[in-house]
Amino acid sequence: MLDRPLRLSPDVSVRPEPFGALLYSFGTRRLSFLKDRRLLDVVQALGTSATAREACATAGVTPEQLASYDAALVRLLRTELLQEVA
């Protein structure tokens, strides 16, 4: 997942919060909580990063944390909050 180019789905609204963020998809009516502020930074960096790995590096994710963030990005992709760039 980390080596794929990802983007926030166009029908998703992001609301930063002190705990992380709320993501709401107007398409799936799914509300998701990002429980880590750095994950929000990763999601926001996806738009200007070639890969998810690059977005994680931009957000300051350490190598030890990459697995957790990878799993979170997979979940966001499966729930259609993120999409892979063609």
Q: Considering the complex, what minimum distance in angstroms separates the CB of residue 1 from another protein?
A: 11
Using rule CB under 8 A, residue 71 touches another protein? yes
Output the CA–CA distances (angstroms, integers) from residue 77 to 18, 30, in the order listed: 23, 13
Say how far apart CA 20 and CA 13 lie, in whole Å: 14
Using rule CB under 8 A, residue 3 touches another protein? no
- C-beta contacts of 56-61 below 8 A and 24+ residues apart: 56/2
- Is 8 strand, coil or helix? strand
Member of 34, 46, 52, 59 binding another protein (CB under 8 A):
34
Member of 4, 7, 36, 80 binding another protein (CB under 8 A):
36
Using rule CB under 8 A, residue 86 touches another protein? no
Of the pair 25, 49, the CB lying nearest another protein is at 25
